[in-house]
Amino acid sequence: MKHEITVPEVSEGVTAGTVISVSVAVGDQVEEDQTLLELETDKAVVAIPAPVPGRVTEIKVTDGDEVAIGAVIMSIEATGEDPSEAETEKQPPIGAIEPEAEIPPDPEPETKEPLPPPVYQQSKEQVLDLTPVRRDDQVAPAAPSVRRLARELGVDIYQVQGSGPGGRICEDDVRAFVRNTMQQLASGGVSPLATGGANGLHAQRPLPDFSKWGEISTEPLSKIRELTADSMAYAWSTIPMVTQYDKAGVEDLEEFRKEYNYRSTSDAKLTMTAILVKVCAAALKTFPQFNSSLDLVRKELIFKHYQHIGVAVDTPNGLLVPVIKDAGDKGVEELAVELNDLAERTRQRKLTPAEMEGGGFIISNLGGIGGDAFTPIVYAPQVAILGVSKAEMQPVWNGREFEPRLMLPLSLSYDHRVIDGAAGARFLRWICQALEQPLHLAMKG
Ligand code: CAO
């Protein structure tokens, strides 16, 4: 029986995606759940699996194609199904001479070309403008041509008030936004909008022709890079942030971790990051404002009574942040298993959008690479993020003498509209103490 494979609903608000790699060819025999192709949307990369075992009979897309949700992308002739259930409407009437069953031709033996690497280039005709339309999980209701106009004029479309039904934004709305903003500029400055956002103008200044000075090459931005650029620019231009630095002596913890990994029969390694997830979840329970979001429109703080912690994962395609849900209710062992699994699937681009949503706080551990300190950027609408640098042996004065200690540098960036400096310092000290004396965590966490 023929199964048509359609693009599934990936996430709310996502209407289309880009095929980044087709993993099968016509004639391939596939298992149930085997990945047929990978699709990149503005929320995530998703693998589309085979719903049944069978043979691929048709592929309608190729790498780089833009496809709408619901579009048919492939067909599979299922194998192993009960023939009495399949194709019943095509059964010949009783007594009729049964024609010979039509057998699809065998695939050309061994003519399959090796799959090309994913291509991100799109032909102009096929492009369905998929410019990121997400901001704090809201979708800007605008046609691709309107979004294109906004981009050309350097307007952040999320700041444009739509005049159409349901707030739909049309070209006139974008032009009116530019006119108003220019008038405000001319009359002495732009006041921040009620959303607390910036003035909405993120125009890029014209670039010089770099090829004048030597050879250059270009490559299109991946969706991940586009989204990262958008969310970082938004956070940087709207959140007044401060970074607080501290250090925790972690020699006892490291000794325990190494001993645990040596004795453990589990596949999942206990890492410093997993321990930090546990400690931060406990810290968020003690200091709930670090797990809040600021709503300037309603003039209120939203407190989350769950501890969903994002962990920044470095992948060849860019930074992604899977979220460990309810970290405060889980033990370190369970968190280690979950983190290993999430990080692995993140690198393989096998996360679902839901696994990257709902985070209230992020840990960004660059210590495996190196560095003394850095200033992580708060990821709106969160209000704080913990950066972790490389733990190193250092001489520390204990009041009588210098003693060698393994010091883990921590950098906490926070939204200064929500968190005062003293609270930032206390929160980070609390984390340091919990790492230095885990009993402290058990007593208070
Ligand atoms: N100090 C010293 N060593 C550290 C360390 C730290 N802060 N963090 C990790 N290490 C060590 C680990 O102990 C491990 O050594 P061993 O193999 O001897 O145990 C090694 O570095 C590699 O660790 P890991 O990467 O396997 O495991 P992890 O849990 O510590 O990190 C993850 C997981 C996903 C956080 C990490 O792989 C990663 O992707 N980090 C990059 C995050 C990033 O890009 N952030 C920037 C975001 S922009 O703000």
Average pLDDT, the chain: 81
Contacts with 391 (C-beta within 8 Å, 6 or more apart), sequence order: 250, 254, 272, 367, 406, 407, 408, 409
Task: Indicate whether residue 371 lines ligand 1 (CB < 6 A).
Answer: no
Answer yes or no: is pLDDT of 132 > 70: no
* pLDDT score of 102: 39
**Per-residue pLDDT, 117:** 33
Q: Which residue has the higher pLDDT, 19 or 428?
A: 428
CA distance 436 to 369: 22
pLDDT at 20: 79
Given a cut of 60, whether residue 210 has pLDDT beyond it is yes
Residue 369 CA: nearest ligand 1 atom is: 21
Strand runs (DSSP E) across 41-122, as ranges? 45-49, 54-59, 66-68, 72-78
State residue 138's pLDDT score: 54
Query: Residue 373: is its pLDDT beyond 90?
Result: yes
pLDDT band at 103 (very low <50, low <70, confident <90, very high): very low
Average the pLDDT over each of 168-177, 194-203, 388-397 and give the range with the smallest value.
Answer: 194-203
Q: Please give the structure tokens belonging to residue 194.
A: 């009620």
Answer for the pair 277, 441: CB distance below 8 angstroms, yes or no: no
Asked if residue 95 has pLDDT above 70, the reply is: no
Structure confidence at residue 328 (pLDDT):
96
User: What is the pLDDT confidence band of residue 139, given thresholds at 50, 70 and 90?
Assistant: low
Res 46: pLDDT: 76
Give residue 130's pLDDT: 35
Record: fold of 112-203 = Dihydrolipoamide Transferase (4.10.320)
> What is the rounded average pLDDT of the residues 427-445?
84
Residue nearest to atom 11 of ligand 1 (CA): 368
Give per-residue pLDDT as tens, 388-413. Answer: 999 999 999 999 999 999 999 999 99
Would you state the pLDDT for residue 445? 52
Which CATH fold topology does 2-90 show? OB fold (Dihydrolipoamide Acetyltransferase, E2P) (2.40.50)
Residue 276 CB–ligand 1 contact under 6 Å? no
Q: Which amino acid is at 118?
A: P
What CATH number is given for 241-444 in this structure? 3.30.559.10
Take residue 308 and report the two structure tokens written for it.
């969903």
**Mean local confidence (pLDDT), 404-426:** 98
Mean pLDDT over 170-196 rounds to 67
390 CB within 6 A, ligand 1: yes
State whether the beta carbon of 366 lies less than 6 angstroms from ligand 1.
Answer: yes
d(C-alpha 279, C-alpha 258), whole Å:
18
Q: Take atom 49 of ligand 1 and give the residue whose Cα is closest.
A: 376
Q: Between 99 and 136, name the one with better pLDDT.
A: 136
Least confident of 98-102, 140-144, 437-441: 98-102
* Mean pLDDT of the 151-164 span: 82
- Residue boundaries of the structural domains of the chain: 2-90, 112-203, 241-444
Region 342-362 average pLDDT: 94
Q: Is the pLDDT of residue 348 over 50?
A: yes
CA dist., res. 346 & res. 312, Å (int): 10
Task: For residue 389, give the ligand 1 atom closest to its CA.
Answer: 7
* Per-residue pLDDT at 378 exceeds 70: yes
pLDDT, residue 444, reads 58
Determine the atom of ligand 1 nearest the C-alpha atom of 363.
35
- Count how many Cα atoms sit within 13 Å of the Cα of residue 122 in the half-sphere of its side chain: 20
Residue, of 234 and 15, whose pLDDT is higher: 234
Instruction: Tell me how far the alpha carbon of residue 367 lies from the centroid of ligand 1, in angstroms.
Output: 5
Domains 2-90 and 241-444 share a fold: no
Active site residue 305: no
- Asked whether 438 lines ligand 1 (CB < 6 A), one says no
pLDDT at 186 over 80: no
Q: How far is the CA of 388 from the centre of ligand 1 (A)?
A: 9
| One-letter amino acid for residue 442 of the chain | A
Range picked from 57-66, 112-121, 210-219 for highest mean pLDDT:
210-219
Residue 342 is inside which H or E element, if any? Answer: helix 332-347
Statement: residue 258 has pLDDT above 80: yes
Asked if residue 368 has its Cβ within 6 Å of ligand 1, the reply is yes
Q: What is the DSSP string of 18-67?
A: EEEEE---TT-EE-TT-EEEEEE-SS-EEEEEPSSSEEEEEE---TT-EE
Q: Which two tokens stand for residue 203?
A: 């125009």
Report the pLDDT value the prediction gives residue 199, as an integer from 0 to 100.
Answer: 41
Cis omega (within 30 of 0) on the bond before 107? no
